[in-house]
């Protein structure tokens, strides 16, 4: 574990760190905010998964989460969205390759060597954070934006009992039926669409749901609505009678202005589950 930077923030510490990842076979970077309570005892942790083109830095600097996490006494971790490095495969398109890991374990060349973001988020990163920082992995929740909302929802439903709550901002809700999904799943996982289904939150919601509360916020003026397909997830939640809320926020788009506006709601939502 190498410290890139550490700064005082809302009484706690905002740090950026690098570590070796077995899953991604390269060094990975993440940001972690620890509230002041972490100086005395391990605190609950919220994982925030970012969207296409992002690194650890986007949400760390734009989401405004630190103030609300400090108020609630919880840590928040901002991982990167893909492996990085000169030897890591990439694509000219913004929505494939670096910055677009889609939170799956790739099985196809040239992606299989490094693009194992599912294992990185669910195994490597929690192990590293738990070993080096004062966080309580028995109390964890997960959230994300866009591609990260897709990752947060699919991981939460795939690991019953691990996360106490899950939330998403404008998630890619039905990727097996969207060009934000079909392209990436085909490249990373191959042409067998049965391998895609475990990474579609709408299909998972229909099949098993989540064993805790769910909060989804979607902007009504999001210019990616046709790619996100929020109505499919909303219908699946209603059909399953899933505990939670799906909120359409009038006039909001896909940006961090939208995320920062409702970040307090999401942090409070998770804090209630983590301390409940």
pLDDT higher than 90, residue 16:
yes
State what percent of residues in the chain have pLDDT above 70: 100
pLDDT for 208 equals 96
Q: 91 near 110, Cβ under 8 Å?
A: no
What is the sign, positive or negative, of the torsion defined by CA atoms of 156, 18, 72, 218? negative
| Beta-carbon count within 10 A of 183 CB | 17
pLDDT confidence tier of residue 21, bands split at 50, 70 and 90: very high
C-alpha 225/C-alpha 174 separation (Å) is 11
* Residue 134 pLDDT: 98
Average pLDDT of the residues in 243-271 = 98
* pLDDT above 90: residue 205: yes
Q: Is the pLDDT of residue 120 over 90?
A: yes
| pLDDT at residue 60 greater than cutoff 90 | yes
Q: Which of 174, 222, 266, 270 is catalytic?
A: 222
Question: Average model confidence (pLDDT) for the chain?
Answer: 98
Output the pLDDT for position 118. Answer: 98
Instruction: Look at the alpha carbons of 231, 233, 236, 240 in this order and tell me if their dihedral is positive or negative.
Output: negative
> Which domains are assigned to the chain?
2-269 (3.40.50.1820)
pLDDT at 128 over 90: yes
pLDDT of residue 151: 98
- Total Cβ atoms within 10 A of residue 45: 28
Catalytic: which of 146, 165, 167, 201?
A: 146
For 214-231, write each residue's pLDDT tens digit.
999 999 999 999 999 999
Residue of 145, 199, 254, 270 marked catalytic: 254
Q: Is residue 276's pLDDT more than 90?
A: no
Rounded average pLDDT over 206-220: 98
CA distance 43 to 74: 6
Residue 254: active-site member: yes
Q: Are 187 and 96 in contact (CB under 8 A)?
A: yes
In the structure, what pLDDT confidence band is assigned to residue 239 with cuts at 50, 70 and 90? very high
- Percentage of the chain lying above the pLDDT 90 cut: 100
> In this predicted model, what pLDDT tens digit does every residue of 30-43 receive, in sequence order?
999 999 999 999 99
- Kindly report whether the global pTM for this prediction surpasses the value 0.95: yes
Residues 172-191 have a mean pLDDT of 98
What does the pLDDT look like over 136-175, one tens digit per residue?
999 999 999 999 999 999 999 999 999 999 999 999 999 9
**pLDDT value of residue 169:** 98
Answer yes or no: 270 catalytic: no
Identify whether 199 is a catalytic site residue: no
């Amino acid at each position: 574990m190498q410290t890139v930077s550490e700064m005082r923030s809302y009484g706690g510490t905002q740090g950026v760190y690098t570590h070796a990842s077995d899953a991604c076979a390269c060094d990975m970077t993440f940001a972690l905010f620890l509230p002041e309570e972490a100086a005395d005892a391990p605190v609950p942790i919220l994982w925030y998964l970012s969207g296409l083109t992002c690194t650890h830095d986007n949400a760390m600097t734009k989401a405004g989460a630190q103030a609300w996490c400090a108020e609630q006494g919880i840590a928040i971790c901002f991982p990167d969205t893909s492996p990085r490095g000169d030897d890591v495969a990439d694509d000219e398109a913004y929505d494939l390759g670096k910055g677009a890991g889609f939170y799956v374990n790739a099985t196809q060349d040239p992606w299989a060597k490094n693009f194992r973001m599912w294992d990185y988020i669910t195994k490597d990163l929690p192990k590293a954070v738990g070993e080096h920082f004062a966080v309580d992995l028995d109390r964890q929740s997960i959230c994300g934006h866009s591609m990260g909302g897709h990752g947060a929802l699919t991981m939460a439903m795939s690991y019953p009992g691990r996360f106490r709550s899950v939330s998403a901002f404008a998630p890619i809700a039905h990727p097996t039926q969207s060009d934000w999904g079909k392209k990436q799943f085909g490249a990373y996982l191959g042409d067998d669409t049965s391998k895609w289904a475990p990474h579609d939150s709408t299909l998972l919601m229909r099949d098993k749901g989540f064993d805790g509360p769910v909060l989804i916020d979607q902007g009504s003026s999001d210019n990616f609505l046709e790619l996100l397909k929020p109505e499919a997830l909303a219908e699946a939640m209603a059909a399953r009678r899933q505990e939670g809320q799906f909120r359409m926020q009038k006039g909001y788009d896909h940006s961090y202005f939208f995320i920062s506006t409702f970040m307090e709601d999401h942090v409070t939502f998770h804090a209630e589950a983590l301390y409940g």
